[in-house]
Amino acid sequence: MVEAPTYQGVNGTIVTYSVIYVPTPEFAGEAPYVLAVLQLSDGERLLARLPFAEDAPLEIGATVAYDHTDQHGPVFRLT
Protein backbone atom coordinates (compact mmCIF):
# COMPACT_ATOMS: atom_id res chain seq x y z
CA MET A 1 0.00 0.00 0.00
CA VAL A 2 1.18 3.50 -0.87
CA GLU A 3 1.86 5.71 2.15
CA ALA A 4 -0.39 8.78 2.29
CA PRO A 5 1.74 11.90 1.82
CA THR A 6 2.62 13.66 5.04
CA TYR A 7 2.20 17.41 5.37
CA GLN A 8 3.88 17.80 8.78
CA GLY A 9 5.28 21.34 9.03
CA VAL A 10 3.82 22.39 5.66
CA ASN A 11 2.32 25.87 5.23
CA GLY A 12 0.39 27.43 2.41
CA THR A 13 -2.09 30.04 1.25
CA ILE A 14 -5.75 29.82 0.18
CA VAL A 15 -6.21 30.15 -3.61
CA THR A 16 -10.01 29.83 -3.38
CA TYR A 17 -12.46 28.21 -0.98
CA SER A 18 -16.07 27.23 -0.33
CA VAL A 19 -18.04 26.32 2.76
CA ILE A 20 -19.87 23.07 2.03
CA TYR A 21 -23.33 22.98 3.64
CA VAL A 22 -24.82 20.07 1.67
CA PRO A 23 -22.26 17.24 1.57
CA THR A 24 -22.31 13.72 0.20
CA PRO A 25 -23.55 11.04 2.66
CA GLU A 26 -19.93 10.13 3.48
CA PHE A 27 -19.58 13.57 5.07
CA ALA A 28 -23.01 13.71 6.74
CA GLY A 29 -22.63 15.19 10.22
CA GLU A 30 -19.42 17.03 9.29
CA ALA A 31 -21.00 19.95 7.42
CA PRO A 32 -20.48 22.81 7.35
CA TYR A 33 -16.80 22.46 6.57
CA VAL A 34 -14.38 24.52 4.50
CA LEU A 35 -12.85 23.14 1.33
CA ALA A 36 -9.97 25.15 -0.05
CA VAL A 37 -7.55 25.00 -2.93
CA LEU A 38 -4.19 25.51 -1.24
CA GLN A 39 -0.91 26.64 -2.71
CA LEU A 40 1.62 24.94 -0.44
CA SER A 41 5.05 26.29 0.40
CA ASP A 42 6.67 23.27 -1.25
CA GLY A 43 5.05 24.21 -4.58
CA GLU A 44 2.30 21.58 -4.50
CA ARG A 45 -1.36 22.46 -5.01
CA LEU A 46 -3.91 20.61 -2.94
CA LEU A 47 -7.62 20.48 -2.22
CA ALA A 48 -8.03 20.12 1.55
CA ARG A 49 -10.46 20.73 4.39
CA LEU A 50 -10.32 23.32 7.14
CA PRO A 51 -12.64 23.35 10.14
CA PHE A 52 -15.47 25.91 9.81
CA ALA A 53 -15.83 28.67 12.38
CA GLU A 54 -18.38 31.49 12.05
CA ASP A 55 -15.91 34.25 13.00
CA ALA A 56 -12.73 32.88 11.36
CA PRO A 57 -10.96 35.33 9.02
CA LEU A 58 -11.43 33.07 6.01
CA GLU A 59 -10.36 34.72 2.75
CA ILE A 60 -8.43 34.21 -0.45
CA GLY A 61 -4.75 34.76 0.34
CA ALA A 62 -5.07 33.73 4.02
CA THR A 63 -2.21 31.59 5.30
CA VAL A 64 -2.75 28.06 6.55
CA ALA A 65 -0.75 25.29 8.21
CA TYR A 66 -1.14 21.53 8.29
CA ASP A 67 -3.03 20.40 11.37
CA HIS A 68 -3.82 16.68 11.21
CA THR A 69 -5.03 13.87 8.98
CA ASP A 70 -8.33 12.06 9.49
CA GLN A 71 -10.12 9.29 7.58
CA HIS A 72 -10.94 11.72 4.72
CA GLY A 73 -7.42 13.14 4.31
CA PRO A 74 -5.36 16.10 5.50
CA VAL A 75 -6.93 18.95 7.49
CA PHE A 76 -5.32 22.41 7.58
CA ARG A 77 -6.00 25.40 9.85
CA LEU A 78 -5.78 29.18 9.46
CA THR A 79 -2.62 30.69 10.95
Partner 1 sequence: MRAIEIVGIAETKFGKAEGSFRELAVQAAQAALEDAGAHPAQVEALFLGTFSPGTFIKQEHVAPLIASELGLNNVPSSRLENACASGSTAFLSGVMAIAAGAYDAVLIVGAEKMTSTPIGETTSILAEAADWENESSVGLTFPGAYALMARAYMHKYGKDRAFLDAVAIKNHHNAMGNPYAQFHREITREDIAKSVMIADPLNLYDCSPVSDGAAAVLLVASDVADRFDKPGIRLLGFGQASDSLALYKRENLTSLPAAQHAAERAYKMAGVGVDDIDFAEVHDCFTIAEVMATEDLGFFGKGEGSDAVLAGATGRDGKIPVNPSGGLKAKGHPVGATGVSQIVESSFQLRGEAGERQIEGAEIGLTHNVGGSGATCVVTILGKAE
Residues that bind partner 1 (CB under 8 A): 15-28, 30, 33, 35, 37, 45-49, 60, 72-73
How far apart are the C-alpha atoms of 16 and 47, rounded to whole Å? 10
| Separation between Cα atoms, residue 14 and residue 17, nearest integer Å | 7
Cβ proximity of 17 and 61 under 8 Å: no
In the bound complex, what is the minimum distance in angstroms from residue 22's beta carbon to partner 1?
5
Decide: 73 and 30 in contact? Cβ < 8 Å: no
To partner 1, the closest distance from the beta carbon of 53 in angstroms equals 14
Nearer to partner 1, 35 or 65 (CB): 35
Smallest separation (angstroms) from partner 1 to the CB of 9: 20
